[in-house]
Chains A and B, each alone.
Chain A
Amino acid sequence: MTRVQHGGSPGRERDAGPGSRRGGKGGAEQVMVPDAEFTSYYGRPIVKAAPWEHDIAYYLFTGGVAAGSSMLAAGADLTGRPALRRVARLGSLGSLLASTAFLVHDLGKPSRFLNMLRVAKVTSPMSVGTWILSLHAPFAMLASMAELVGMLPTRLQTRPVRLLLALGRPAGLVGALTAPPVAAYTAVLLADTATPAWHSAYEELPFVFCGSAAAASGGLGLIGAPLHESGPARAFAVGGALVELAVERRMERSMGLSAETLHHGEAGRWMRMSLGMTAAGAVGALAGRRSRVLSMLSGAALMAGSFSTRMGVFEAGIASANDPKYTVVPQRERLDRGEPVRFQQ
């Protein structure tokens, strides 16, 4: 049975004053901000919210960590930072496994994931993402396996193991090169919907997500790597955090009305958390260059900040879909300005 989300009563819906052209107020239950004058059908949503659980938000986070970690791992590998490489490779492995678990859980059963590989569709960011992931994951995994087996006692390092060890670096490099799409596509995944808060953010969301991915993976590096190796992670994290924070502001401007949803309710709480944690993490990371503890705390804060960003953006999207205001008002304003979206030769 459908959950019922009906708005006001027919008796009460049209209490608009005389002469008002658009009488009813929508969103009776969901209105989170002072009413904008707009009409709706009993406040019922127009577009449907993505029927996704929080799994998808977690996935956005773990995907970002995985992608950033791949890059860090490859850099660490090339620049001789074994400890950073280890934490990055293991982080990549862990987050890839978690990502898969979240995806499969959301789809219901593993075969449904494989089902997606029956076609490749450029118009479907999910299809594209699936292929990107399928391309990235084996290499990243291979590199991580190499890291794992490298941890084995030497007497166990048999010929196949040695082969694997040898493949670690090239695989890691391919993994790093295929990582950016993994970090970026999730933004397209969200933006390519009718969900007002997501679609309206499509210009900036990839930057926010990539920045967030860098901050989180760098944060992981800060947690796991010793001070003398964590420099790049620190830089990556702080850079990511700054990009995230800066672009997020800009994003809100281009989002228009639906930016509201980032400040209210569940999404608002996450976004405030995100701001606090990311900023604190970045400051801490910069200040904690000489303190392992502070670095670890900052790393954790940056990860938490990134996680909050993902949760916040996710929740804002759902909220923006559930309130018809965010669908109606921007479109209505566009129309009233005489600027309907029309194809021009």
Chain B
Amino acid sequence: MAEAHPVGFQWVMEAKKRGARIIHVDPRFTRTSALAHQHVPIRVGSDIAFLGGIINHVLQNELDFREYVVNYTNAANIVSDKFEDVDGLDGLFSGFDPETRTYDPTSWQFAQEDQDGELGQAQADDAGDTAEQRDTAAGMQNEAHGMQVGSHPPRDETLQHPMCVFQVLKRHYARYTPEVVEQICGVSQEDFLEVCRAWTENSGRERTTALVYSVGWTQHSVGVQYIRAGAILQLLLGNMGRPGGGIMALRGHASIQGSTDIPTLFNLLPGYLPMPNAASHQTLSDWIDGVRNPGSKGFWANAGAYGINLLKAYWGDAATAENDYCFDYLPKITGDHGTYRTVLDMIDGKVQGYFLVGQNPAVGSAHGRAQRLGMANLDWLVVRDLFEIESATFWKDSPEVQTGEIVPEECRTEVFLFPAASHVEKEGTFTQTQRMLQWREKAVEPPGDARSELWFFYHLGRMMRESLAGSSDERDRPLLDLAWDYPLHGEAASSGWGEPSAEAVLKEINGYEVATGRLLSGFGEMKDDGSTLGGCWIYSGVYADGVNQAARRKSRHEQSEVAPEWGWAWPMNRRLLYNRASADPQGRPWSERKAYVWWDEDAQEWTGHDVPDFEKKKPPSYRAPEGSDGVAAIEGIDPFIMQGDGKGALYAPQGLIDGPMPTHYEPVESPFRNLLHGQQGNPTRKEYRRSDNPLNPDPREPGAAEVFPFVFTTSRLTEHHTAGAMSRYVEHLAELQPEMFVEVSPALAAERGLEHMGWCHVITARSAVEGKVLVTERLRPLRVEGRTVHQVWMPYHWGQGGLVSGDSTNDLFGISLDPNVLIQESKVGTCDVRPGRRPTGPALREYVEGYARRAGVLDHEEGPVVTASADAQQRSAAAQDGADQHSPQQREDQ
């Protein structure tokens, strides 16, 4: 955190000054460890075992916050007895289909008293084709939409029922003992128990613990389950929805949170509405029902208003009730359109043109060679960037030019490089980690021809519409009917080339009444009849009362600790989500120290320091009437109002591709066998098996350990930014870390003959990259499964361009992805390290292929993904058959 979020880390230091104890769990000793009280080195890719160990510690020792757990989580829900856990199935959950390598989650569901009741129906909607869900990263949508479970599953609040979530969880993690943690993670039992003690002692009525994670946890083939494991712990310890608690993703780029809220992702529309799917969302009501899940509890019930307001914002007057608000104009997805699939499609010649806006995949994305070969096989490529980055120059100076795989004279891609205005050269908002929007003024004019994204896309759209004007072709209608008019300002406004008003865009995002133009005060005012429009329902209210709430900058010294008047946080300026949980079931603060939001008996409403994330007038005693759904079904003790059952999910029966509970799998590339099960890695991971994407062999393969004996991981340096354009091209940053380097422990240096500040190179089946050797005791070999494992670390900021250049670490990675959200596993792989520089020119390819050949993975002869015993596979699949009567097809027939 000190490395990549130094400004946020000031609060950790502030806490430390006040006596907080800081423990840093990270494979290597970083600037964060330097300031922590304790550094716990862990084998990269083994955190689920570590967290599972803590969960086990909590459950075995009954250290959970029981009152919270019983009332606010799904611990009491009873799971279907068809469910079978990994222990009996060699690492698979029930319902596995070895053909598609996906699960049918039917057997994971909560028990039902009556199949045809509302519960069954609610569950039905999400149990679709999981293979397709994986392709479309639907896990992301489901997660945001809450579990699609019925509102009243059977419960046992004594938590004694053998199939209640609490007991299922307890059995699931029983094997994660301190000894096992030590064996898998290389963390000593003392260190481990110290972490357990610190975490649990700092949780409960009087205290809360915050969990802060970032990409050390996400970029894994089990990345989503890492976070799930953290969530389970935080729920068990009562740390969610309470001040000082929670789980925070430290986001990456300045507005990366903004770019998921109003997304640049292929499968999401603004406000986490799913991108319609050609197969299942034929009509507007299909699409909306797919979101609101009739029968579920919660605020997604109003999805109709959110969706229609979005369509109205897109197509304005053209969007009417008669034409389903132009729903048909929306593009529909048909499968995997993710960035890695697209790059492979480029290599295969299936993609003609590409826009690259503020991204440098030639350096920043896994499998750099594939990225560059893909881009070299386009007709045209538009790059908008601050600098002439590697993704714009790959055709003339990439490593593939040296190896002869790209010949500049023959490369067919026409590259258009547009200079972009930087964040200080344009106005707009940033949305950061806390979901907070902050307005940013333009500080300086962009230099030369540099223009903002807003300018570029507005005028691109305008020109396209002008060139199509008068067309009667139906397929041009979506473009021609767009509401595409924003006030322009700036010098060029008179000539028609002005800068569109970012405030006007923010107003449209906020939403307004179509007839009067009155700005909405929040999404509660959004109507599903076309009388209002708004571009992103969760952002509605940012322009309440006609005031740009994001531009508020009242000093924290002039307001309460919560600082509600600094910027604006979605939804409805709530600073803490699900904050109903900060009060006990009766609505009283859990403790004086931790009072945040509570029920005011006299006023008969929720009140407190923050905007309550609950219906203001709904008392804690409210119980839902039989048969209710949507908002009415949320009871007075259901703080998690976006979840289908209003409860925090210790167990996730739906929404995850790879299982209802996190379970330890080895990284795709690992020198170790999975100690817990026959199933080695995540069986449902997304893989692109092809000859240009070889993966290092499974440790079971003979000789595998000799060829690629070491584990490597990559991350950031404070001194550089991601793919490096914003630091390597800038004098004052470039000089701070001027050369690519590889950090190794003294022991590994001795073993491999690496000399401090000499050269070395790191090899995988994809490529070899070189760097200076930095021998440091900050890297420590660990003892795992009785063997010593050396971890090698590299920053990934270098490429050929800029003031300082070097090999790009991402060339080492292949492509394998988490099945839920399609994030690449770029935190862990296996490799070899050798002294000296790597070969250059065509010899490099021969050298790397030599390694691949020796490892037996040349021409994708890689081992199987599903390694659970055949018997386990059969039994898991049988559970699916057994649950057949609940399969989606059948239910469609009902």
* Chains A and B touch (C-beta atoms under 8 A apart): yes
A→B interface (CB under 8 Å): 9-12
A14 nearest CB neighbor, chain B only: B777
A9 nearest CB neighbor, chain B only: B756
B→A interface (CB under 8 Å): 746, 749, 756-757, 774-777
> Which residues of A sit under 8 angstroms from B757, Cβ to Cβ?
9
> Which residues of A sit under 8 angstroms from B774, Cβ to Cβ?
10
Cα-based distance from A41 to B135 in the complex (angstroms): 55
Min Cβ gap B350→A in Å is 49
Min Cβ gap A58→B in Å is 37
> Which residues of B sit under 8 angstroms from A9, Cβ to Cβ?
756-757, 775
Cα-based distance from A138 to B275 in the complex (angstroms): 92
A-B pairs with lowest CB-CB distance, top 9: A11-B775, A9-B756, A11-B756, A11-B746, A10-B776, A9-B757, A9-B775, A11-B776, A12-B756
> Which residues of A sit under 8 angstroms from B746, Cβ to Cβ?
11
Q: Is the interface of A mostly helix, strand, loop or mixed?
A: helix
> Which residues of B sit under 8 angstroms from A12, Cβ to Cβ?
756
Cα-based distance from A321 to B746 in the complex (angstroms): 33
Cα-based distance from A62 to B173 in the complex (angstroms): 87
Min Cβ gap A95→B in Å is 45
Cα-based distance from A40 to B79 in the complex (angstroms): 65
> Which residues of A sit under 8 angstroms from B776, Cβ to Cβ?
10-11
> Which residues of A sit under 8 angstroms from B756, Cβ to Cβ?
9-12
> Which residues of B sit under 8 angstroms from A11, Cβ to Cβ?
746, 749, 756, 775-777
Cα-based distance from A10 to B778 in the complex (angstroms): 11
Cα-based distance from A10 to B774 in the complex (angstroms): 9
Min Cβ gap B34→A in Å is 14
Cα-based distance from A12 to B749 in the complex (angstroms): 12
B749 nearest CB neighbor, chain A only: A11
Cα-based distance from A12 to B750 in the complex (angstroms): 12
Cα-based distance from A11 to B749 in the complex (angstroms): 10
Min Cβ gap B893→A in Å is 69
B775 nearest CB neighbor, chain A only: A11
B756 nearest CB neighbor, chain A only: A9
9 A-B pairs, CB-CB below 8 angstroms?
A9-B756, A10-B756, A10-B774, A10-B775, A11-B746, A11-B749, A11-B775, A11-B777, A12-B756
> Which residues of B sit under 8 angstroms from A10, Cβ to Cβ?
756, 774-776
Min Cβ gap A29→B in Å is 14
Cα-based distance from A275 to B419 in the complex (angstroms): 70
Min Cβ gap B731→A in Å is 12
For the A-B complex with A9-B756, A12-B756 known, give 10 more contacts whose Cβ atoms are closer than 8 Å.
A9-B757, A9-B775, A10-B756, A10-B774, A10-B776, A11-B746, A11-B749, A11-B756, A11-B775, A11-B777
Which of A9, A10, A11, A12 gathers most chain B CB within 10 Å?
Answer: A11
Cα-based distance from A175 to B777 in the complex (angstroms): 67
Cα-based distance from A11 to B755 in the complex (angstroms): 10
A12 nearest CB neighbor, chain B only: B756
Cα-based distance from A9 to B754 in the complex (angstroms): 13
> Which residues of A sit under 8 angstroms from B775, Cβ to Cβ?
9-11
Min Cβ gap B229→A in Å is 35
Cα-based distance from A204 to B746 in the complex (angstroms): 50
Min Cβ gap B732→A in Å is 15
A8 nearest CB neighbor, chain B only: B756
Cα-based distance from A10 to B775 in the complex (angstroms): 7
Cα-based distance from A9 to B755 in the complex (angstroms): 10
Min Cβ gap A223→B in Å is 54
Min Cβ gap B2→A in Å is 19
> Which residues of A sit under 8 angstroms from B749, Cβ to Cβ?
11
A6 nearest CB neighbor, chain B only: B757
Min Cβ gap A49→B in Å is 23
Min Cβ gap B773→A in Å is 9
> Which residues of A sit under 8 angstroms from B777, Cβ to Cβ?
11
Min Cβ gap A282→B in Å is 52
Cα-based distance from A10 to B749 in the complex (angstroms): 13
Cα-based distance from A10 to B746 in the complex (angstroms): 10
Cα-based distance from A223 to B774 in the complex (angstroms): 62
Min Cβ gap A43→B in Å is 14
Min Cβ gap A12→B in Å is 7
Cα-based distance from A7 to B757 in the complex (angstroms): 12
Min Cβ gap A11→B in Å is 4
Min Cβ gap B111→A in Å is 60
Cα-based distance from A11 to B743 in the complex (angstroms): 11
Cα-based distance from A9 to B749 in the complex (angstroms): 13
Cα-based distance from A116 to B757 in the complex (angstroms): 46
Min Cβ gap B813→A in Å is 28
Cα-based distance from A10 to B777 in the complex (angstroms): 9
Cα-based distance from A12 to B777 in the complex (angstroms): 11
Min Cβ gap B668→A in Å is 32
Cα-based distance from A9 to B757 in the complex (angstroms): 8
B778 nearest CB neighbor, chain A only: A10
Min Cβ gap A8→B in Å is 9
Cα-based distance from A253 to B777 in the complex (angstroms): 43
Cα-based distance from A11 to B756 in the complex (angstroms): 7
Min Cβ gap A18→B in Å is 15
Min Cβ gap B115→A in Å is 67
Cα-based distance from A9 to B772 in the complex (angstroms): 13
Cα-based distance from A61 to B203 in the complex (angstroms): 77
Min Cβ gap A3→B in Å is 15
Min Cβ gap B244→A in Å is 38
Cα-based distance from A10 to B29 in the complex (angstroms): 15
